[in-house]
Amino acid sequence: MNMIRRLHRKFMVAATAAVIIIIVGVLGVINIFNYARETSEMDTLLSAITNNRGTLPADYVRHNTPWMPIWQLFDVDDWSKAPEFSYQTRYYSILFNAEGTPIWGDVNHIAAFSINDAISYADVMRHSGTDTGTMRRGSAEYRYMITTQEDGSELVVVLDCTKNVLSIRRSLRTSVIFGCIIILLFIAIAAALSHRIMKPFITNMENQKRFITNAGHELKTPIAIISANAEAIEMINGKSEWTTNILTQVKRQTGLINDLITLAKMDERSKQDLVISDVDVSQTLRNSAESFEQVALDQGKQMTISIKPNVHAKTDGKCLYTVFNIFVDNAVKYCDEGGTVAVSLQPKKIGHGFTAVIANTYAEGKHVDYSRFFERFYRGDESHNSQKSGYGIGLSMADELMHLLKGNLSVRYWEKTEMIQFTISM
């Protein structure tokens, strides 16, 4: 069930992320178009006033530009075609001579500025360093355009664009609210329907686990008979190469069946099944390492053990010992001939917990895909030879157990020492 919950969580995260990307993209494009349209409208008006020497023509109608911006395709209804448009447009114009002295002004089309205020603000805009820009005065927004005439004089046109700016902000605010509502609705609907969507997959997984468990128990009987017959032959005729091979393969198959059954039942385990107590991690790891020490020596491999004493943790001792066994067994099994298996344990420098490191010499590990090491039935050794027997189950079991124990697993390869290192931390 842990795997199903993780899969369900990943499905929800992936689906929600996809919807967020789509919604943000669509609403972002809409707001960009809206901003571009409003900015284009303001600049077009400013250009029209500037080209008419500071006054908007009474018969002004906006014309689309020759290159036809894409946002103009949506302007079916054009406000500039309304008969009152030129009278509703609020603006003022100030003309400065080449020496910077105001020589003409028109404030008849705006109520918020007196002639002195208009000149003062226009002079500030002249020294802003930009030909176009925006400014805020009170609750109103204004956009200006500065044009240098042939005689060196400068015409400053200031347009009240509060309506346009509010339209941009309103569109953005509406988009954010609308987007959040859509995302929340999607999460609610997806959460309600995801169980139905995943039900066939869950049923399939349960059927697979049931088959593996039943088949495993069924296979134990003929294997037990084969083992008993081989032992009987040895008792009658003595040991031989053939009986030894039979018993070796029986032992391998028995281990495989037990691992498959354990793995099938692994997802059924929950935190309620754990027996949490104060565990002597140092002694637990030492017991595990020492149980494989003679195996390593028999294979011509060296084992170094560096374990800090009296390292304790609140956890399930049996599960932790199983995890240690899996990694030490894996290290001894895949260590190069004449190589070294290193087992170490250190308490965490900050807070409670520990870090256990189990490493082994592995010269061929440079090009191995370590991201797949904890997948079920994955083996880096594709030859599947009997010298390194295994079925890609152990590391997956360790990963499942560490999820239950709320611990962390990591793997990396050190090219300098040609060692592969597994780190277990809690």
Whether 341 maps to a domain, the answer reads yes
Rounded Cα distance, 34 and 27, in Å: 10
pLDDT of amino acid 18 = 93
Rounded Cα distance, 189 and 183, in Å: 10
Please indicate, yes or no, whether residues 149 and 278 belong to a single structural domain of this protein. no
Transcribe 95-123 into DSSP letters: EE-TTS-EEEEE-TT-SS--HHHHHHHHH
Please indicate, yes or no, whether residues 152 and 277 belong to a single structural domain of this protein. no
183 CB-near residues (< 8 Å, 6+ apart): 16, 19, 20, 23
Angle at 262 between CA 259 and CA 263, to 5 degrees: 85
* Per-position pLDDT tens, the chain of length 426: 556 677 778 888 888 999 999 999 999 999 998 898 888 888 888 988 998 889 887 666 655 544 445 545 555 455 555 666 667 889 999 999 999 999 999 999 999 999 999 999 999 999 888 999 999 998 999 999 999 988 899 999 999 999 989 999 999 999 999 999 999 999 888 888 877 777 777 777 777 777 777 777 777 788 888 888 888 888 888 888 888 888 888 887 877 777 677 666 665 555 556 788 888 999 999 998 888 888 888 888 999 999 999 989 888 888 888 889 888 988 888 888 889 999 999 988 777 789 999 999 888 777 776 666 666 555 555 444 444 544 456 777 788 788 878 888 888 888 888 888 899 988
pLDDT of amino acid 218 = 78
Whether 301 maps to a domain, the answer reads yes
Phi-psi region of 208 (alpha: psi -120 to 50; beta: other; left: phi over 0): alpha
Whether 217 maps to a domain, the answer reads no
Beta strands in 338-407 (DSSP E): 340-347, 354-361
Whether 289 maps to a domain, the answer reads yes
Answer whether 362's CB lies under 8 Å from 413's CB: yes
Angle at 137 between CA 131 and CA 140, to 5 degrees: 95
Whether 375 maps to a domain, the answer reads yes
pLDDT of amino acid 92 = 94
pLDDT of amino acid 165 = 92
Which CATH number characterizes residue 284's domain?
A: 3.30.565.10
Structural domain that includes position 104: 90-160
Whether 62 maps to a domain, the answer reads no
Please indicate, yes or no, whether residues 280 and 407 belong to a single structural domain of this protein. yes
The residues with which 316 forms a beta bridge, in sequence order, are 276
Rounded Cα distance, 62 and 173, in Å: 28
Whether 232 maps to a domain, the answer reads no
Which CATH number characterizes residue 126's domain?
A: 3.30.450.30
Answer whether 155's CB lies under 8 Å from 175's CB: no
Cα-to-chain-centroid distance, residue 361: 33
Kind and range of the H or E run holding 292: helix 281-298
From the list 240, 43, 243, 241, the residue with the least C-alpha distance to 144 is 43
Q: What is the DSSP letter of 336?
A: P
Q: Within 10 Å of residue 371's Cβ, how many Cβ atoms?
A: 8
Name the domain boundary from 124, 140, 160. Answer: 160
User: Structural domain tally of the chain?
Assistant: 2
Whether 50 maps to a domain, the answer reads no
Residue 338 structure tokens: 């004449």
Please indicate, yes or no, whether residues 278 and 420 belong to a single structural domain of this protein. yes
Rounded Cα distance, 100 and 153, in Å: 8
From the list 420, 396, 381, the residue with the least C-alpha distance to 323 is 396
Name the domain boundary from 160, 183, 203. Answer: 160
Radius of gyration of the chain (CA): 39
Rounded Cα distance, 36 and 151, in Å: 33
Name the domain boundary from 108, 141, 160. Answer: 160
Dmax (CA) for the chain in angstroms is 126
